[in-house]
């Protein structure tokens, strides 16, 4: 059931929050084999549900999301609860504060039932790089659910919760949404405060919702959005809330189709084109556009995100943060802690990031990547003077089998080839379930003008009908 329906029933007193929460917890246990959750919180959730029910009973406002069970990615802080970012290095770590985005959801009556599995520190595209074992795709448990917000996508797709929070640095909300057949939104950079989100690459990280319906994504983002004094990059501008109750007509809506993204050799081409032609028959105009800069996205992203990660993850040393491996000297203690604490993918990124920033090389690598990023931003901004929305596949393929890409990082990285451009440029982007390929869901990515989440949510609403 969608969040807006649950909240409506709880607010009216037609359904008790405790019953909703118990049902979600039962479902989470029933699909335990998916590995979607790292930590379930039955006591916390039941306690919160009883508080909501007593607000309703005493005629006080329980909030727009009253009684809605939610799941949060294990890199989002929740005071007094574990915060491990999918890493054994943070085993036993407890959050000392609550992320602003989560606080805003809780203030509206949402109830956290558990923390979801993820690729360690958000680095991965399949959910297989978690210290707690892989997550499986509810549609086909032999396949990956995508990553890095693997557990959040699986929890929503398996019907445990209607809303789960993920974080998206280069596609980690949208790509698993595509693989699991749910909606995933990465808002404009800065729309949602990053305070309380474990940093991977701060200039790219954004919290975003995974949901079954566009309406739920719209409600979740509008509750979380807004300036936060604790995050200096949070946007001042107010978010325009889309009118998802009555989606607009498509008449003459210009959908930009980058030639570089729509090659008929990619597996998802045909089913996604079918969806786009349907939009065309309902009045939209498909406009071919040229975005040659897209080819620079993947290399620029891996240089920039790894460089920022190398700096952000320096704080995990076994002394200030992280499980300590005590050795005879301070240096050996730090080296042993980091070597044993970080998994192989994180170590790969830290090496790449440190290399990219090293003296003599940073001009070639880091500066060129920054220039590519600026060009990406300018090219996309310019494109929006001739089109209203840009459409690309969310990923070039559907969910792949567990174990098939883990040994080949370069192959794994290609899963994000289309989600990375709007991450680099900061534009909002949405993955909408738009078809099936060999029995697995695939998503269409809609990119909107900066700060215009409404444009993509409205079109998403036309596609999903909910």
DSSP assignment string, 369-413: HHHHHHHHHHHHHHHTTT-SEEEEESSSS-PPBTTSSTT-HHHHH
Of the candidate spans 22-30, 86-94, 167-175, 259-267, the one that interacts with ligand GLN by CB under 6 A turns out to be 167-175
Asked if 116 interacts with ligand GLN (CB under 6 A), we say: no
Q: Looking up tokens 């359904």, which residue turns up?
A: 15
Token pair for residue 83? 């915060």
Whole-angstrom distance, CA of residue 342 vs CA of residue 388: 43
CA end-to-end distance (rounded Å), the chain: 12
Rank residues 67 and 171 by Cβ distance to ligand GLN and give the closer one: 171
Asked if 317 interacts with ligand GLN (CB under 6 A), we say: no
Among 62, 67, 109, 124, binds ligand GLN (CB under 6 A): 124
Q: Is residue 208 within 8 Å of 183, Cβ to Cβ?
A: no
Asked if 394 interacts with ligand GLN (CB under 6 A), we say: no
In the region spanning residues 409 to 448, those forming contacts with ligand GLN, defined by CB under 6 A, are 416
Asked if 308 interacts with ligand GLN (CB under 6 A), we say: no
Task: Identify the helix (H) or strand (E) that includes residue 285.
Answer: strand 285-289
Instruction: Name the minimum Å distance from CB 169 to ligand GLN.
Output: 3
Cis peptide before 148 (omega within 30 of 0): yes
Side by side, which strands form the sheet with 37-40? 37-40, 111-116, 69-73, 163-168, 206-211, 183-186, 429-437, 440-447, 389-393, 254-258, 285-289
Among 148, 188, 193, 234, binds ligand GLN (CB under 6 A): 148
| Size of interface with ligand GLN, in residues (CB under 6 A) | 13
Q: Which of 126, 148, 305, 306 is catalytic?
A: 148
Asked if 304 interacts with ligand GLN (CB under 6 A), we say: no
Instruction: Name the minimum Å distance from CB 175 to ligand GLN.
Output: 7
The candidate with the shortest Cα–Cα distance to 198, out of 136, 119, 137, is 119
Instruction: Name the minimum Å distance from CB 417 to ligand GLN.
Output: 10
Instruction: Name the minimum Å distance from CB 171 to ligand GLN.
Output: 5
Each residue 206-245 as x (binds ligand GLN by CB under 6 A) or -, in order, gives ----------------------------------------
Of the candidate spans 26-34, 58-66, 107-115, 119-127, the one that interacts with ligand GLN by CB under 6 A turns out to be 119-127
Q: Is 164 exposed, middle or buried (0-12, 13-18, 19+ CB in 10 A)?
A: buried
Query: Given the DSSP bridges, would you call strands 206-211 and 163-168 parallel, antiparallel or unpaired?
Result: antiparallel
In the region spanning residues 3 to 42, those forming contacts with ligand GLN, defined by CB under 6 A, are none
Among 35, 62, 171, 341, binds ligand GLN (CB under 6 A): 171
The candidate with the shortest Cα–Cα distance to 90, out of 82, 81, 98, is 82
Of the candidate spans 121-129, 391-399, 429-437, 449-457, the one that interacts with ligand GLN by CB under 6 A turns out to be 121-129
Which ranges of 158-259 does DSSP label H, i.e. alpha helix? 174-180, 214-224
Each residue 179-208 as x (binds ligand GLN by CB under 6 A) or -, in order, gives ---------------------x--------
Asked if 130 interacts with ligand GLN (CB under 6 A), we say: no
Among 123, 182, 395, 462, binds ligand GLN (CB under 6 A): 123
Asked if 134 interacts with ligand GLN (CB under 6 A), we say: no
Q: Is residue 165 within 8 Å of 71, Cβ to Cβ?
A: yes
State yes or no: is 73 an active-site residue.
yes
State yes or no: is 150 an active-site residue.
no
Whole-angstrom distance, CA of residue 376 vs CA of residue 370: 10
Select the residue whose beta carbon is closest to ligand GLN and give its number.
172
Instruction: Name the minimum Å distance from CB 305 to ligand GLN.
Output: 6
Q: Is residue 112 within 8 Å of 101, Cβ to Cβ?
A: no
- The residues assigned a catalytic role are 73, 148, 172
Q: Where do contacts with ligand GLN occur on this chain (CB under 6 A)? A: 122-125, 148, 168-172, 200, 305, 416
């Amino acid at each position: 059931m969608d969040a807006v329906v649950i909240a409506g029933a709880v607010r009216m007193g037609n359904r008790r929050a405790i019953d909703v929460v118990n049902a979600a917890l039962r479902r989470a246990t029933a699909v335990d084999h998916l590995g979607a959750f790292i930590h379930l919180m039955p006591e916390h959730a039941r306690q919160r549900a009883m508080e909501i029910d007593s607000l309703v009973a005493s005629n006080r406002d329980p909030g727009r999301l009253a009684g809605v069970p939610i799941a949060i990615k294990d890199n989002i802080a929740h005071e007094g609860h574990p915060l491990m970012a999918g890493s054994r290095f943070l085993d036993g770590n407890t959050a000392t504060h609550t992320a602003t985005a989560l606080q805003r959801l809780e203030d509206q009556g949402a109830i956290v039932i558990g923390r979801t599995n993820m690729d360690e520190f958000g680095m991965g595209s399949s959910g297989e790089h978690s210290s707690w074992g892989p997550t499986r795709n509810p549609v086909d448990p032999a396949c990956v659910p995508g990553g890095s917000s693997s557990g959040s996508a699986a929890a929503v797709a398996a019907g445990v919760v209607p809303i789960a929070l993920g974080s998206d640095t280069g596609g980690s909300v949208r790509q698993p949404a595509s693989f699991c057949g749910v909606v995933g939104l990465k808002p404009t950079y800065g729309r949602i405060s990053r305070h309380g989100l474990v940093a991977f690459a701060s200039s790219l990280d954004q919290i975003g919702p995974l949901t079954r319906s566009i309406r739920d994504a719209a409600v979740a983002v509008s509750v979380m959005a807004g300036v936060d004094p604790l995050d200096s990059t949070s946007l001042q501008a107010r978010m325009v809330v889309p009118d998802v109750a009555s989606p607009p007509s498509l008449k003459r809506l210009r959908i930009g189709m980058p030639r570089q993204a729509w090659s008929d050799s990619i597996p998802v081409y045909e089913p996604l084109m079918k969806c786009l032609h349907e939009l065309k028959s309902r009045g939209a105009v498909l406009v071919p556009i040229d975005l040659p800069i897209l080819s620079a996205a993947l290399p620029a992203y891996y240089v920039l995100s790894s460089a920022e990660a190398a700096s952000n993850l320096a704080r995990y040393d076994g002394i200030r943060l992280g499980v300590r491996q005590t050795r005879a000297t301070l240096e050996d203690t730090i080296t042993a802690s980091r070597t044993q604490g970080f998994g192989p993918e994180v170590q790969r990124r830290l090496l790449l990031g440190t290399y990219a920033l090293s003296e003599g090389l940073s001009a070639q690598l880091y500066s060129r990547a920054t220039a590519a990023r600026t060009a990406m931003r300018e090219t996309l901004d310019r494109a929006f003077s001739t089109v209203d929305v840009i459409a690309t596949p969310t990923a070039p393929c559907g969910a792949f089998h567990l174990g098939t890409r883990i040994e080949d990082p370069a192959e794994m990285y290609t899963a994000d080839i289309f989600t990375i451009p709007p991450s680099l440029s900061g534009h909002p982007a949405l993955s909408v379930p738009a078809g099936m390929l060999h029995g697995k869901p695939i998503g269409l990515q809609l990119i909107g003008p900066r700060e215009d989440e409404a444009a993509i949510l409205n079109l998403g609403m036309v596609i999903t009908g909910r």
